Amino acid sequence: MRFLPVNSPDHHFPADHHFLPEQPIPRGRVWPVMEPLVNSHVPAEFLRLPDIPVETLFTPDPAPGFEPDIRLMHMLKGRRLLLDELLPDSSLETIQKHFAKGFIRFTTGFTKDKQCRRCGANSPADQALFHCFRCRKHCTYCRKCIMMGRVSECSIFVTSNVPAAEDPKNAAHTLAWEGTLSPGQKHASDFLTNRLQNGPPGECLLWAVCGAGKTEMLFSGIQKALKSGKRVLVATPRSDVVRELEPRFDQAFPDTEIAAFYGGSSDRFADADLTISTTHQLLRFYRTFDAVIIDEVDAFPYTHEPMLHFAVENAAKLNSHKVYLTATPERRMQRASISGTLPSVIVPRRYHGYDLPVPRFVWTFRWRKKAEKQEIPAAVTRWLRGHLENEKQIFLFVPTVKLLKQILPAAQKQFRVPVESVYSEDPDRKEKVTRFRQGKTRLLLTTTILERGVTVKGVQVGVLGADDSRFTESALVQISGRAGRSPDEPEGDVCFFHDGSTKAMVRARQQIEAMNREREGISR
């Protein structure tokens, strides 16, 4: 690509690349002329990316009467993409023409203070330098979001310069879900519907205990928002949650277009009224959603990764609704909710109306030493044996993979039932969880990866080494929330085995007890 000042004497365009502006352009501005990036007719001669900063480009107003390329504008709808991402499906000539007619806009890959425009990373640790064949200079690139394709100093982002065409389809967005909401769910659902319809744009929190039935609370609010022509996004840090939510929304909204995005999903450029996505995939979106609902807002890696917050901010419109959905808000968010600075609704009851199981603390002297000797502490063995004799299924959480591997042989030897273990890098992770759900495995040893999203009827929950720093308050509340989820067996034994209780353990128990004291939904 070559960029030339329009009035420069040495510019001579080939006839078919000639798109002169239809209106005079301000002085000091430049007009780009794109030619094939690699000119195969002239060997060893390259047309380089510009030294001229893209900021000084003149973008004209959209020309009336120009028929834009549907495919290109479709890809750019609500997105900001690298020129390289567009090129396989579009040509430089098409892009040039759309630029000349004011339908697209160019921006640099990095801001002036060396921040990646896509993921917001600006620390030198996230950047690297290479000798770039395009700009023939040492070029900085962003390593933080490299898995979405490289953003370097000479990269160009393309965005649409026209408002997205209003969809004429005007679907009815009927809600096919016919269940009934519990009083708590109803309360939260009304709160959300009201907020999305009449409330001022901004953040709010939907704090619903594990097993409250969060997804059902969303349906009515989402339906009303869709009907009023809003673009709605349901985002979550975890791809398995996306895969689980997609069929449920598909059933609930049979005539609404739904697109799901996660690493490895099929259509990267799908466009729909309702989008379900991992927070990572939001990096490609740009100021397009009117309402953003973030499920499991406190889950890893969202809480640890500023990039994902940046992605959500960029994907949402400037004046948009943000709904945080969680059973275990971080302390900062809890405080904001209690003080009233963050509008919020709390659903303290499970949908079946029974109390949450309250964890018991069992002192297990020197459990770590025992585990290192590949032994299961006596208190744990007794507890396990008791439940196994009653034909119960058991989750036993442990803090590390190392510990998991140390005690697995002992567990398999001591109990004459099928015992298995899972951890995040386990290749058979999905199959093992399925076997546990089917009841083929009686005891499942696991790290914190199964702390959310897994529902197994009538399961008992133990945490070996609950005083380990990996078990945070929210992890422990989530883990306790695995028990008693089914209305048939609302009771469940939750047992924390520890060697000196921690603040996190005490706070987790307090949180659960506080929720049990409440009867109805609370909104602040």
Q: Within 143-202, which residues bind other proteins (CB under 8 A)?
A: 143, 146-147, 149-150, 152
**76, 104, 119, 132: residue in contact with other proteins (rule CB under 8 A):** 132
* Cα 176 to Cα 185: distance, rounded to the nearest angstrom: 17
Residue 159 · residue 496 · CB < 8 Å: no
The CB-of-263 to other proteins minimum distance in angstroms stands at 13
Which position among 13, 66, 133, 365 is part of the footprint of other proteins (CB under 8 A)? 133
Contacts of 160 (CB under 8 A, 6+ apart): 73, 76, 77, 103, 104, 105
Q: How far is CA 225 from CA 1, 290, 503, in A?
A: 43, 9, 41
Distance of closest approach, residue 134 Cβ to other proteins, in angstroms:
6
State yes or no: residue 139 binds other proteins (CB under 8 A).
Answer: yes
Q: Residues with Cβ < 8 Å from 88, sequence gap 6 or more?
A: none
130 is an interface residue for other proteins by CB under 8 A: yes
Q: Which residue, 132 or 217, has its beta carbon nearer to other proteins? A: 132
DSSP character string of 379-415: HHHHHHHHHHHTT-EEEEE-S-HHHHHHHHHHHHHH-
Instruction: Tell me which residue has tokens 């008992």.
Output: 460
**How near is the Cβ of 442 to other proteins at its closest, in Å?**
32
Q: Which of 71, 234, 78, 215 is nearest to 158 (CA)?
A: 78
Instruction: Provide, for the chain, the percentages of residues in helix, strand and coil under a 3-state DSSP scheme, each rounded to the nearest 5.
Output: 30, 20, 45
Q: How far is the CB of 81 from other proteins (least distance, A)?
A: 16
What mask of x and - would describe binding to other proteins in positions 440 to 479, judged by CB under 8 A? -----------------------------x----------
Number of residues forming the site for other proteins (CB under 8 A): 23
- Per-residue tokens: 178: 């016919």
Which of 160/239 has CB closer to other proteins?
239
Residue 505: Cβ within 10 Å count: 21
CB of 119 to other proteins, least distance (A): 14
Residue from 20, 125, 166, 390 in contact with other proteins (CB under 8 A)? 125
Binding mask 4-43 for other proteins (x = CB under 8 A): ---------------------------------xx-x---
User: Which among 358, 302, 363, 307 has a CA at the least distance from the CA of 500?
Assistant: 363
Residues 254-273 that bind other proteins (CB under 8 A): none
Please report how close the Cβ of residue 440 comes to other proteins at its closest, in angstroms. 29
The single residue among 134, 137, 317, 437 that binds other proteins, judged by CB under 8 A, is 134
Decide whether 152 or 220 has the Cβ nearer to other proteins.
152
Stretch that binds other proteins, among 138-146, 161-169, 258-266, 448-456 (CB under 8 A): 138-146
State the minimum distance, in angstroms, from the CB of residue 365 to other proteins.
21
Which is nearer to other proteins, 316 or 476 (by Cβ)?
A: 476
Tell me the three state secondary structure of residue 202: strand
Binding to other proteins by residue 136, rule CB under 8 A? no
Task: Determine if 365 is a binding residue for other proteins (CB under 8 A).
Answer: no
Enter the tokens of residue 472: 């945070």
Euclidean distance between CA atoms 229 and 204, whole angstroms: 21
CB of 468 to other proteins, least distance (A): 9
> Among 61, 84, 491, 520, which residue sits at the site for other proteins (rule: CB under 8 A)?
84
Rounded distance between C-alpha atoms, residue 493 and residue 484, angstroms: 8
Question: Is-contact 501 364, C-beta < 8 A?
Answer: no
Backbone angles phi, psi at 281, to 5 degrees: -70, -15
Report the interface residues with other proteins, using CB under 8 A. Answer: 37-38, 40, 44, 46, 84, 125, 128-134, 139, 141, 143, 146-147, 149-150, 152, 469
